[in-house]
Amino acid sequence: MHERTRAFVDFMVRCDVLTFGDFVAKSGRKTPYFVNAGRYRTGAQVAELGRFYAEVIDDAFGDGVDVLFGPAYKGIPLAVTTAIAMSERHGRDVGFCFDRKEAKDHGEGGQLVGHPLQDGDRVVVVEDVTTAGTSIRSTLPLLRAAADVEVVGLVVGVDRRERGTRGDVSALDELEEEFGLRTVSIASIDDVVEHLRDHDVDGRRVITDDDLDRIAAYRAEFGAA
């Protein structure tokens, strides 16, 4: 496992973003763990988050990206902080863009804010977590309606490794096949389990044997191969 992945898992734990217990996911499934990016709450945390994303994007796409797109709402700060980190850490001044939940009918109008998309722009979408891929399926038509852009990738913080709509293929892998874009995660639920199984964070045992059993059962029911 990449050391960056281990550091990211520890970072999520310290920010109370990654928690274990009894939760209900957006899909309606009862899940034994939850990733809540809304719990990044300070400037230092958001800056560090952007550095993780920027490093992954630089590794995966190099100079092959022009614009970062963050779907509303949690993707908005992601796109902004990652664009800052790309400039400061990797010498790449990329644009950032995000959408409104409802189109604005006054002022400049429209549904997109930030970098005005142009034909030929290479876009990477940044999100916090993926379960079923619902968000990206609604995002792509919006981007392609704005201009003849090339959506080259999707980068998520955590891949839950849940099955998509076709057999045992994960939702993230399914998106890659369906839309011809590259999908990358900073960590997966399998990375989380592997790292925290025998690892304390700041002297604290984060994941219990019961948590591990329930995650294994959840993965057996909903997880991709």
Residues annotated as part of the active site: 104, 106
20 near 207, Cβ under 8 Å?
yes
In DSSP notation, 63-100 reads: T--SEEEE-TTTHHHHHHHHHHHHHHHH----EEEEEE
Distance CA 124, CA 51 (A): 16
Residues 6 or more apart whose CB falls under 8 angstroms from that of 189 comprise 33, 158, 159, 160, 161, 215, 219, 223
CA angle 204/155/64 to nearest 5° reads 135
Residues 6 or more apart whose CB falls under 8 angstroms from that of 38 comprise 74
DSSP 163: B
Would you state the structure tokens that stand for residue 11, as one six-digit string?
């970072």
Would you state the structure tokens that stand for residue 193, as one six-digit string?
């389990």
46 near 53, Cβ under 8 Å?
no
